Amino acid sequence: MTTIVNIQALPTSPYEGTGLVAIVITSGVPSYFRLTGVDLNRIVSVRWFPKHPGTLLFETRQLILVDNTEGTFMVKVLDNYLDTNNRAGRIVFTLDDETTLSAPVITYGPVSVGPLWTSPNAGLITG
């Protein structure tokens, strides 16, 4: 039986130990996670379902296993549309028998990269 024991941010996040999967909301900055558990080889996909999916564009790198008890995955926000609100939702792990396991998500971090921004301290490009 597949069991997830821990989802740890790499490097650590300010929400470590809260039971929340903390994804950096800053566009272009990947959030990596170490997943530990039992029979993780049964996981066939990792997906994030934000509370309001139309509020951002993102990509997910699927689970890469070290062995049946440990692996890593990644979520990267490609465009947060210059909005700092928490996108929340859930990370869902789908198993080979189509059952799912999930964990709640929180987003955090500054809006510093996007179509109108040049760097964290530069402000808007007004043209």
Pick the CATH number of 3-108 from 3.40.50.1860, 1.10.730.10, 2.40.160.10, 2.60.40.10: 2.60.40.10
CA-nearest of 36, 25, 16, 38 to 86 is 25
Task: Please determine, for residue 120, whether its predicted confidence score (pLDDT) is greater than 70.
Answer: no
Sheet holding 21-24, edge to edge: 21-24, 100-108, 90-95, 43-49
CA-nearest of 44, 52, 50 to 93 is 44
Please give the pLDDT value at position 112.
58
Query: In the chain, where are the structural domains located?
Result: 3-108
Each residue's pLDDT tens digit, 37-92: 999 999 999 999 999 888 899 999 999 999 999 999 999 999 888 777 889 999 99
Tokens linked to 55: 């509020």
Measured over the CA atoms of residue 17, residue 6, residue 30 and residue 96, the dihedral's sign is: negative
Determine what percent of the chain is predicted with pLDDT higher than 70. 87
Those residues with Cβ within 8 angstroms of residue 57's Cβ, 6 or more apart along the chain or in another chain = 77, 78, 79
